[in-house]
Structure 1
Amino acid sequence: MSAKRLKRQEIKQKLFTKSRIVLLNEETFEEIFSLKLNLMNVFVGLTSISIVMIALTTYIIAFTPLREYIPGYASTQLKREATRNAIASDSLQKVINENEAYLASIKKVLTGDLETAKLSRDSIVAPEQANAEAPELAPSKEELKLREQVALEDKYNVFEKAGPRVSQVLFAPVKGIITEKYNSRNKHFAVDISVAKDTPIKSVASGTVVFADWTPTNGNVVIMRHNDGLISVYKHAASITKDQGDTVRSGEVIALAGNTGTQSTGVHLHFELWKDGYPIDPTQFIDFE
């Protein structure tokens, strides 16, 4: 018989050899409790108890609120608040992206980086909002009849007056001689007013400065946003007295006239006026001379 086989038999004999555990009364030596065991029973019992303890601990950690008291595990309330904050942050980021796209579109339109053929009413709106198509609503028979009745009444109304496109009074930015008028055919969407150097340039209406910086082609440029979708642009200034984000009142000085930028041909103010994304002739609303 080999040594390995003898060793296995010895180990097997030790594992299955029964032992008796007896509990005796110390004074009378009366047997109170006795238990027969072997090493295999002890091993199986300890293994079973360990498996049950591991399973119970896993259940407590995974499916009960007691895991909040274990270091390293976050509470359910904290997770809910974190989820709520993440959703709020995502919404705020979306609003910020839309505002940035809005300001970038204004800058492209008013600094001449966008072709005239591509201009539309939605040219200064964020792309996500501009792509939304309006539903087609067909008028009913009653609406068509009412339109015909109103058209007949207005046809002979001698007191009817056309309303202006701009509902507010505009202040003249400078007083001077117009050297080049507004001409949409030649893509000159502005009026050029000849003035003396460092003449104060004033805001045509109350509003907010959305752009105030230097550009290579137009020099110092100021762009202001007013009420009713109105935007005014002032180019070729010698210096700027306002910063982006400033709130300006009507007639307040925002820059000084100059001759900056590669497209400037002399000391003058290049003034543009936009309404709902469309250029309009400033001389229809402002007297420059």
Structure 2
Amino acid sequence: MAKKQKKGKEIKRKLLHKYRLVILNESTFEEKISFKLSRLNVFVTGTLFIIILIGLTTLLVAFTPLREYIPGYSSTRLKRQATELTYKTDSLVAVLEYTNKYLENVRLVLRGDIENNEINRDSLFEQFKLDPSTIDLKPIREDLALREQVELEDKYNLFERNTGNAGEVLFSPINGSVTQGYDLQKKHYATDISATKDTPVKAVADGTVIFAEWTSDTGYVIIVEHKEDLISVYKHNGSLSKSQGDIIKAGEVIAGVGNTGELTTGPHLHFELWKKGKPLNPQDYIDFN
């Protein structure tokens, strides 16, 4: 026990024993600076210095651009930029897909073609159809009167039937005699109206010109997009009064009747109506006489 106490006192003495650190002038041996130190003071001072150095280094790396040079440590700014670029890329991809679909619909209109891979929904209910021979299908007088009234109201108002807006009316692009009507069997998705050359062709409704160019088959063509996904097409024009991107009003002159294109047979207007990529019979909505 006495030995342990003696050993402890010896260690304490060594730790607290004072030493003098003197800095002298080499030539004159004049004392410049002197310090009184002990082993304990040197250990405590050195430890504090190391802790402070580690803390300053950590702060320097964490809050300055130097951290970007450490392998595996990514920059917050670069992360934010990468995230923003990812969102922008997704948005551009969506816009590109929408634009491609839109252009494909315009190509279908120009070719006068429709998709043939649609499901015939009527065939799904074929087994539930009744035999017409067993039913009296002769309409009664009230039914005939109602049909005539509905046909008269709907003939000149495409938008009312689809959206309930009673104020929208389709105007006749030109007045003339119909030389060829709408025929799904022959893939003639239009109404041909004969007219003298340079007769003004008018827009059937307010809209935006999405195509106004020359084509070899149908000459000068102008396509107008209206609200509710309605598109009107005017082909074989002799001249165009509007350009792509123009905003037009209903009844505004957009072209002149002509006889252009390889498929024309004389001065006339080849007029088409398309709704959500499906052709419509123009004579169901417009009176060309």
Where on the TM-score scale, by shorter chain, does this alignment land: which range?
A: 0.5 to 0.7
Residue 116 of structure 1 contacts residue 187 of structure 1 at CA under 8 Å; is this kept in 2?
no
Is 1:101 matched up with 2:104? no
Change (3 A) 1:246 1:88: farther
Kept in 2, the 8 Å contact 1:120–1:277? The answer is no
By how many angstroms is 1:89 displaced?
A: 2.3
CA RMSD of aligned residues (A): 4.1
Partners of 2:233 and 2:219 lie apart in 1 by 12
| Number of the residue aligned with 2:222 | 222
Structure 1 unaligned regions, length at least 5 = 1-21, 34-52, 122-156
Structure 2 SS opposite 1:279 = strand
Q: Whole-Å Cα distance in 2 between the matches of residues 28 and 166 of structure 1? A: 106
Counting only pairs closer than 5 Å after superposition, residues 20-59 of structure 1 correspond to structure 2 as 24=24, 26-27=29-30
Question: How far did residue 81 of structure 1 move?
Answer: 4.7
Cα deviation digits, residues 151-200 of structure 1 (max 9, x gap): xxxxxx97977584542311000111111111111111101111111111
Q: Counterpart of 1:106 in structure 2: which amino acid?
A: N
How far does residue 201 in structure 1 lie from its aligned partner after superposition?
0.6
Conserved in 2, the CA contact under 8 Å of 1:199 and 1:257?
Answer: yes
Match of 1:178 in 2: 178
Identity of aligned residues (%): 37
Pairing of 1:197-236 with structure 2 (within 5 A): 197-236=197-236
Judging changes above 3 Å, is the alpha-carbon distance between structure 1 residues 120 and 280 closer, same or farther for their aligned structure 2 residues? Answer: farther
1:208–1:247 CA contact under 8 A, matched in 2: yes
Which residue in 2 is equivalent to 1:82? 81
- Secondary structure, in 3 states, of the residue corresponding to 1:237? strand
Q: 1:27 to 1:279 in 2, by over 3 A?
A: closer
- Structure 1 match to 2:10: none
- CA distance 1:32–1:270, shift in 2 (3 Å): closer
Say if 2:112 and 2:189, in contact at 8 Å, map to a contact too: no
What aligned pairs does 1:105-184 form with structure 2 within 5 A after superposition?
A: 105-112=104-111, 114-115=113-114, 117-118=116-117, 164=154, 166-167=159-160, 168-184=168-184
Q: CA shift at 1:246, angstroms?
A: 1.4
- The CA deviation at 1:99 is 3.6
Which residue is 2:62 aligned to? 64
Q: Secondary structure at the match of 1:111?
A: helix
Query: Size of the alignment, in residue pairs?
Result: 214
TM-score by length of 1: 0.61
CA distance in structure 2 between the partners assigned to 1:105 and 1:224 by the alignment? 15
What residue ranges of structure 2 are gaps of 5+ in the alignment? 1-21, 37-52, 121-141, 161-167
The residue that corresponds to 1:135 in the other structure is: none
* 1:97 partner letter: L
Cα distance in structure 2, aligned partners of 1:28 and 1:237: 110
- Relative to structure 1, the CA distance from residue 245 to residue 88 in structure 2 (aligned partners, 3 Å threshold; closer, same or farther) is farther
Range that drifts further, 108-117 or 158-167 = 158-167
TM-score by length of 2: 0.61
Distance, in Å, in 1 between the alignment partners of 2:179 and 2:252 is 24
Instruction: Give the CA deviation at 1:85.
Output: 3.4
